[in-house]
């Protein structure tokens, strides 16, 4: 019963956070999704497959286990569920995962190029460059494995999966959405900067100090 009421609350949160994706111009049509871990359970709440953003409600969110098998809900889970589930299975501190094909960040991923740490905002939020993950096909564990293997060695909560798009993680789904919004914003700014010259790097000591300050001073407030 406790689990049921908790899941109801998470369904509401995940449905509400999906509205941030079109609002921040991170998605077109139905591509892109937010999920949240059900704390203490091997369960996650995610968008159903093929549902438009203006049709999303708490009731049509679906619950799956960490194999991506539907546990609760009337619709099929997002086709990206296996990747989200893999992340929860292997990164126990992650409470939320977001996937988008947001334009500028995905343009970097198409080149297989990490976004360099050339803005204080990148140091703050990502603690260094935003790394590139491997090329991986949908259908097995390879996307999830690529995300986990890349992010484990980084401070960054975002990975640019090569030729594909962005996955972000957070302590909760709100933090993962924030990382997705910021990733697209810095991808755009650094892209524009590069049109007329080479952006200047920030020294490692300054990156470390910016990251530590931001994560400690601003990292306390839950985004949602
Ligand atoms: Zn995708």
pTM of the model: 0.94
How is 143-174 classified by DSSP, letter by letter?
HHHHHHHHHHT-S-SEEEETTTEEEEEESSHH
For Cα atoms 190, 179, 33, give the angle at the middle one, nearest 5 degrees.
115
pLDDT at residue 45, rounded to an integer: 98
Adjacent-strand bridge partners of 34: 98
Q: How far apart are CA 127 and CA 183, in angstroms?
A: 12
Q: What's the pLDDT tens digit per position in 8-29?
A: 999 999 999 999 999 999 999 8
Centre of ligand 1 from the C-alpha of residue 208, in Å: 31
Of all residues in the chain, the percent with pLDDT exceeding 90 is 90
Centre of ligand 1 from the C-alpha of residue 117, in Å: 24
**Residue 77 CA to chain centroid, in angstroms?**
17
Q: What amino acid positions are annotated as catalytic residues?
A: 124, 218
Q: Which of 142, 134, 140 is nearest to 163 (CA)?
A: 134
Q: Which two tokens stand for residue 211?
A: 């990251």
pLDDT at residue 221, rounded to an integer: 55
Residues 32-60 have a mean pLDDT of 96
Q: What's the pLDDT tens digit per position in 186-218?
A: 999 999 999 989 999 999 999 999 999 998 876
pLDDT at residue 30, rounded to an integer: 87
Contacts of residue 187, defined as CB under 8 A and 6 or more positions apart, other chains included, come to: 102, 104, 105, 107, 108, 115, 130
Residue 217 is classified by DSSP as I
Centre of ligand 1 from the C-alpha of residue 82, in Å: 12
pLDDT at residue 153, rounded to an integer: 84
Cα dihedral across residues 69, 72, 78, 82: positive or negative: negative
pLDDT at residue 145, rounded to an integer: 98
Centre of ligand 1 from the C-alpha of residue 99, in Å: 7
């Amino acid at each position: 019963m406790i689990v049921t009421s908790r899941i109801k609350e998470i369904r509401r949160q995940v449905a509400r956070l999906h509205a941030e994706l079109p609002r921040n111009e991170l998605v077109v049509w139905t591509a892109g999704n937010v999920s949240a871990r059900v704390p203490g359970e091997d369960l996650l709440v995610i968008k159903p497959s093929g549902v438009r953003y203006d049709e999303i409600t708490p009731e049509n969110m679906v619950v799956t286990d960490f194999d991506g098998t539907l546990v609760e809900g009337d619709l099929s889970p997002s086709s990206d569920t296996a990747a989200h589930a893999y992340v929860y299975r292997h990164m126990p501190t992650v409470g939320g995962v977001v996937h988008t094909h947001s334009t500028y960040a995905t343009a970097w991923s198409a080149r297989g190029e990490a976004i360099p740490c050339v803005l204080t905002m990148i140091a703050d939020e990502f603690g260094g460059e935003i790394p590139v993950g491997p090329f991986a096909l949908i259908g097995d564990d390879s996307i999830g494995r690529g995300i986990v293997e890349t992010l484990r060695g980084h401070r960054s909560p975002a990975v640019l999966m090569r030729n594909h798009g962005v996955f972000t993680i957070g302590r909760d789904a709100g933090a993962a959405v924030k990382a997705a919004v910021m990733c697209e914003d810095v991808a755009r700014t650094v892209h524009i900067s590069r049109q007329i010259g080479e952006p200047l790097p920030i020294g490692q000591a300054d990156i470390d100090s910016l990251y530590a300050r931001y994560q400690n001073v601003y990292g306390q407030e839950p985004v949602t």
